[in-house]
Copies of this chain bind each other. A is one copy, B any other.
Amino acid sequence: MTKLKLTTLAVIGVGLIGGSFSRALKAADVVQLVIGYDFNPQNLAEAVHLGVVDRAAASYAEAVSNADVVFLAVPVRSMTSVVETCVPYLPAGCIVTDGGSVKSELVSSCEQLMPDGCFFVGGHPIAGTENSGASASFAELFQGRRCILTPTKHTNQKALELVHSLWEVAGSKVECMDPLTHDRVFAAVSHLPHLVAYALVHAVAGSAEDEENILAFSAGGFRDFTRIASSDPSMWRDIALMNRLPLMSLLDRYQHEFNTLKEKVAAGDGAWLEDYFTTSKRLRDEII
């Protein structure tokens, strides 16, 4: 690439992520035309009305049939079936990339679905807000945030370089990681903590005999600690299902840690507890 300029970008799923990607590339003037498609017609109309995309397609086929690049920002569980639907209409040379937060199965499926002369590059922008929909999108969402690309031995290098450049233009710090490593790392630093927080909220909310006081005194650590338990339920259902294998390994490990800790509290083993907490503090201070 001498100078980055796309003729047509198709954005499938014009929500927070898809809309912000479009806005960022339009703001940087690296794309002539952005065509959007969304299974929710109201959201799609809103996207056009707000200038998030230049125009709306009436179908997946229309959205992708002239695209240099297709960006998929639909729920992660729908990604593969959306790619299947689009495949017959992809023009030669088209690069398909996505923003899904679980990668192994998805990347493998999408690579297999690509027709000859079309190229898939998996991606995962580490960005978001508590809002959703085209109206929540903004060009700066990815500024300074990491975006992970997950190339494999099948990935076309020029396609990878192009997608890499687009995310840099959008403001991201781009890193590459193989899909399985990605899924293991996010199982550890994100998926496990989310499940732990969900269970914690249930446990605390269930101790309702002191509900009024819990309400009053949850303002401190509990609020910060459980913020992630307010995340989108259907997205987290999908993540738990799609990243099940790496996640189960961490759930096992965590269960073992928790059960041991509980036994030691029950036994009143102060020396063990102090040692365990000291190690936690050291590990956490090292990790962060």
A217 and B185 within 8 A (CB): yes
For residue A172, give the distance in angstroms from its CB to the closest CB of chain B. Answer: 14
Note all chain B residues with C-beta closer than 8 A to A231. 277, 281
Q: Is there a chain B Cβ closer than 8 Å to A258's Cβ?
A: yes
Kindly list chain B residues whose C-beta atoms are within 8 Å of the C-beta of A261.
195, 198-199
Nearest opposing residue in chain B for A203, CB measure: B254
In the assembled complex, the CB of A249 is this many whole angstroms from the nearest CB of chain B, namely 8
Please measure, in the bound complex, the distance between the C-alpha atom of A181 and the C-alpha atom of B213, giving whole angstroms. 8
Residues in B neighbouring A288, C-beta threshold 8 A: 218-219, 223, 226
A193 at the interface (CB under 8 A from B): yes
What is the copy number of this chain in the assembly?
A: 2
Interface size on A, residues (CB 8 A): 88
Q: Is A31 an interface residue (CB 8 A)?
A: no
A50 CB-CB contact with B under 8 Å: no
- B213, B255, B287: the one within 8 Å of A218 (CB): B287
Q: A224-B227, A229-B284, A281-B233 are in contact. Are A254 and B199 (CB under 8 A)?
A: yes
A39 at the interface (CB under 8 A from B): no
On whether the beta carbons of B233 and A274 are closer than 8 Å, the reply is: yes
Residues in B with CB closer than 8 Å to A209 are 184
Binary per-residue interface labels of chain A (258-281) against chain B in the complex, 1 for a CB within 8 Å, 0 otherwise: 110110011010100110111111
Q: Are B192 and A200 in contact (CB under 8 A)?
A: yes
